C-alpha cells in the first residue's frame, strides 16, 4: 500500500470531497504514520508541507524526460525524497527534474503534485475528516491541532501519542484578529486595548543558550533578514521563551516609520547592510506563549500579560469599560502614529490560527476605510511612461478554496512598486501571448502568490449577483501572508450596503 502507484490509483478514483473522506481514510489505515503524513501532503498537492519546490510549468515544459525500458514503482518515502532533492538550492533545475523522473512510473501525477496542480477538489478539510475517522477523534480536534502547528507530520505524530506541547524552535500558528469596525455591538466590556503597530507579525524564539530565531506569520524562518533585531534581543537578557509581537520600522527621530516606506526592506533580500541602515526596525512583544520554564499558552490574556510584566516585559495596554473610553484610547493611538487599536478579551485564551474569519478573542479597529488582503491573478503593461512595466493587476479573494475575482487594481503603485512586480511576475508566470510593447494579459503563477492589501471606496453588488471592489488602490505588499491568509468573499460581502 505504500507504493506511489497505489496513491496514484486512489487519486484517479476519488469522487466528491464528502465521499473522498472515506476513500482516503480507508487508504491511510494501511500505512505507517510517516507514510500517512507523506500521502496526505501528496493528496492536497503540497509535498513539502506547504513549502514550494520552486518549479513552474515553464520549467517542466523545457524538460524532455528520459524514457527507459524499466519503470520502477517507488515507495511514498522514495518519492518524497525526490521532492526534497528537487527543492534543494542549486542551478540547472531542468537537469535535476529530468534525473528525478528517470525510471519513474506515474510521471503525470509526480508533475501535478510538484506544480500543486492536482485540481481534485481535496483540501485540508477533507484530510482533517479522514484523519479524525482513523484516530477516532473529532474533526474539530484535528483542525485545531493543524491550526496550531500547521504541519501534517506534527498532527499525525500527536494523534499517535506524541505530547502536544510547545517547544522553543518550533513555531506556532499565531492567533489572528477580526475587524470589528462594523460590529462594535459585539464587544463585551471590559476589554484590553493595545496600540496596533503598522508592521509585520513576528514570533521570536529565544533558546536556552541565548540563540534567537524569528519566524513570520506563515511560520517561515526569517532570522537572517533581521540581524539588528537579533542583536538587540541578544543584548536584552530576555528570558528564553516564545514571544508573539510585531516588527515595525522606526525613523531616525524614534517615531514610527510608515509601512509604505518600511516595506521596501521586507520586499528585498539583497544588500542587507544597506537595508538595515536605511530601514531600522524594532520588535515589540505584546504576548508570550512560553517563558522558561512556564508554558502559559493556556492562561488567560490578562494573566499572560501580568506574568510578562514580572519579567520586565511591559505591554502597552489600557482597559476600556465602554465604547466612549475605547474611542478615546483609539483617538490617542491614531494621534501617536499607530495604525489603530487591538481589542482583546481579558479572559480569552490564546487560540493558534483562529480569529480572522470567525469571532474569537482578538479584534482590530482601524480608521474607517475598507481594506482587503487579495492575491494578484494577472497583470497588464501600462501606457506612456509605464509602457515597459506591469501597471494594472487583476485581484481576487478566496471562495471555498477557489479564487473569486473582485476587480483590477492600477492605483497606488509607484514606479518602484511596478518594477518590483514586473520582475517578480515575468520571472514566475505563465505567459499568454503577451509582448513587451503590447497590452495583453500576463497570468500570474499562483504557486508564487503575490499578496497585496488594497483599499476600496465600497463593495459593489451587480445585478447578476457578483461582487467587486469600487476603485481599489494599492496600500502595501503583504509578504508575511500566503494564499490561504487572504480575505474571503464572505468577508467582502460583510461590507455590501446595497
Could you report the per-residue pLDDT of 202-213, keeping only the tens digit for each?
999 999 999 999
**Confidence band of 24 (pLDDT split at 50, 70, 90):** very high
**pLDDT of res. 55:** 85
13 pLDDT more than 80 = yes
pLDDT > 70: what percent of the chain?
95
457 versus 207: which is more confidently predicted?
207
Lowest-confidence range among 29-43, 135-149, 344-358, 425-439?
425-439
**Bridge-based pairing state of the strands 178-179 and 362-365:** parallel
Residue 295 buriedness (CB in 10 A; 0-12 / 13-18 / 19+)? middle
Cα separation of the two ends of the chain: 55
**pLDDT of res. 497:** 65
304 pLDDT more than 60 = yes
22 pLDDT more than 60 = yes
**Confidence band of 361 (pLDDT split at 50, 70, 90):** very high
Give me the sheet containing 281-291, strands edge to edge: 212-216, 200-206, 241-249, 281-291, 294-295
110 pLDDT more than 90 = yes
**Residue 409 bridge partners (DSSP):** 393
**pLDDT of res. 429:** 63
In sequence order, which ranges of 267-322 are alpha helices (DSSP H)?
Answer: 272-278, 301-310
Looking at every residue in the chain, the average pLDDT score rounds to: 89
373 pLDDT more than 90 = yes
**Confidence band of 263 (pLDDT split at 50, 70, 90):** confident
Q: Where are the domains of the chain?
A: 4-159, 178-365, 370-493
Distance CA 195, CA 430 (A): 42
482 pLDDT more than 60 = yes
**pLDDT of res. 350:** 95
- 397 within 8 A of 489, measured Cβ to Cβ: yes
**pLDDT of res. 256:** 86
**Confidence band of 244 (pLDDT split at 50, 70, 90):** very high
**pLDDT of res. 428:** 66
Task: Indicate the CATH number of 178-365 among 1.10.10.60, 3.20.20.150, 3.30.470.30, 3.40.640.10.
Answer: 3.30.470.30
**Confidence band of 368 (pLDDT split at 50, 70, 90):** low
> What would the mean pLDDT of 319-339 be, rounded to a whole number?
91
**pLDDT of res. 498:** 60
CATH class entry, domain 370-493: mainly beta
7 pLDDT more than 60 = yes
pLDDT digits (tens, 9 = 90+) for 414-444: 999 999 999 888 876 655 555 554 556 777 7
> What would the mean pLDDT of 344-368 be, rounded to a whole number?
88
**pLDDT of res. 224:** 93
387 versus 288: which is more confidently predicted?
288
The candidate with the shortest Cα–Cα distance to 418, out of 448, 456, 376, is 376
Dihedral sign (CA 321, 326, 332, 336): positive
Domains 4-159 and 178-365 share a fold: no
**Range 4-159 has CATH code 1.10.3260.10:** yes
**pLDDT of res. 432:** 56
**pLDDT of res. 439:** 53
**pLDDT of res. 301:** 96
Amino acid at each position: 500500500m505504500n507504493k506511489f502507484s497505489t496513491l496514484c490509483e486512489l487519486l484517479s478514483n476519488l469522487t466528491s470531497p464528502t465521499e473522498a473522506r472515506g476513500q482516503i481514510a480507508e487508504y491511510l489505515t494501511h500505512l505507517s504514520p510517516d507514510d500517512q503524513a507523506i500521502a496526505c501532503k501528496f493528496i492536497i498537492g503540497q509535498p513539502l508541507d506547504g513549502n514550494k519546490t520552486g518549479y513552474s510549468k515553464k520549467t517542466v515544459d523545457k524538460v524532455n524526460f528520459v524514457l527507459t525500458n524499466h519503470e520502477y514503482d517507488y515507495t511514498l518515502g522514495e518519492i518524497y525524497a525526490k521532492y526534497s532533492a528537487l527543492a534543494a538550492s542549486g542551478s540547472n533545475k531542468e537537469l535535476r527534474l529530468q534525473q528525478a523522473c528517470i525510471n519513474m512510473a506515474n510521471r503525470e501525477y509526480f508533475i501535478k503534485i510538484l506544480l500543486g496542480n492536482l485540481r481534485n477538489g481535496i483540501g485540508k478539510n477533507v484530510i482533517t475528516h479522514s484523519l479524525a475517522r482513523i484516530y477516532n477523534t473529532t474533526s474539530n480536534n484535528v483542525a485545531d491541532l493543524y491550526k496550531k502547528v500547521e504541519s501534517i507530520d506534527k498532527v499525525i505524530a500527536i494523534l499517535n501519542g506524541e505530547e502536544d506541547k510547545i517547544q522553543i524552535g518550533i513555531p506556532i500558528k499565531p492567533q489572528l484578529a477580526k475587524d470589528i469596525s462594523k460590529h462594535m455591538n459585539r464587544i463585551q466590556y471590559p476589554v484590553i486595548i493595545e496600540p496596533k503597530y503598522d508592521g509585520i507579525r513576528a514570533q521570536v524564539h529565544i533558546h536556552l543558550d541565548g540563540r534567537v530565531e524569528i519566524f513570520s506569520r506563515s511560520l517561515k524562518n526569517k532570522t537572517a533578514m533581521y540581524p539588528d533585531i537579533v542583536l538587540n534581543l541578544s543584548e536584552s537578557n530576555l528570558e528564553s521563551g516564545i514571544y508573539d509581537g510585531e516588527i515595525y520600522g522606526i525613523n531616525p527621530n524614534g517615531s514610527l516609520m510608515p509601512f509604505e516606506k518600511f516595506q521596501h526592506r521586507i520586499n528585498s533580500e539583497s544588500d542587507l547592510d544597506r537595508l538595515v541602515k536605511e530601514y531600522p526596525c524594532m520588535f515589540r512583544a505584546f504576548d508570550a506563549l512560553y517563558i522558561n520554564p512556564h508554558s502559559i499558552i493556556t492562561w488567560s490574556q490578562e494573566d499572560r500579560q501580568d506574568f510578562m510584566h514580572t519579567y520586565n516585559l511591559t505591554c502597552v495596554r489600557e482597559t476600556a469599560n465602554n465604547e466612549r473610553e475605547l474611542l478615546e484610547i483609539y483617538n490617542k493611538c491614531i494621534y501617536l502614529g499607530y495604525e489603530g487599536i487591538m481589542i482583546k478579551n481579558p479572559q480569552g485564551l490564546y487560540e493558534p490560527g483562529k480569529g480572522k474569519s470567525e469571532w474569537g478573542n482578538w479584534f482590530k479597529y482601524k480608521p474607517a476605510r475598507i481594506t482587503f488582503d487579495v492575491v494578484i491573478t494577472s497583470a497588464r503593461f501600462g501606457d506612456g511612461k509605464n509602457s515597459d512595466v506591469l501597471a494594472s493587476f487583476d485581484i481576487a479573494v478566496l471562495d471555498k478554496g477557489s479564487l473569486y475575482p473582485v476587480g483590477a487594481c492600477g492605483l497606488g503603485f509607484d514606479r518602484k512598486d511596478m518594477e518590483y512586480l514586473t520582475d517578480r511576475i515575468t520571472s514566475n508566470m505563465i505567459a499568454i501571448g503577451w509582448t513587451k510593447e503590447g497590452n495583453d494579459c500576463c497570468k500570474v503563477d499562483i504557486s508564487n502568490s503575490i499578496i497585496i492589501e488594497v483599499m476600496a471606496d465600497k463593495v459593489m453588488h451587480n445585478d447578476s449577483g457578483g461582487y467587486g471592489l469600487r476603485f481599489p488602490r494599492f496600500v502595501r505588499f503583504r509578504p508575511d501572508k500566503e494564499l490561504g491568509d487572504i480575505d474571503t468573499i464572505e468577508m467582502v460581502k460583510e461590507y455590501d450596503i446595497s
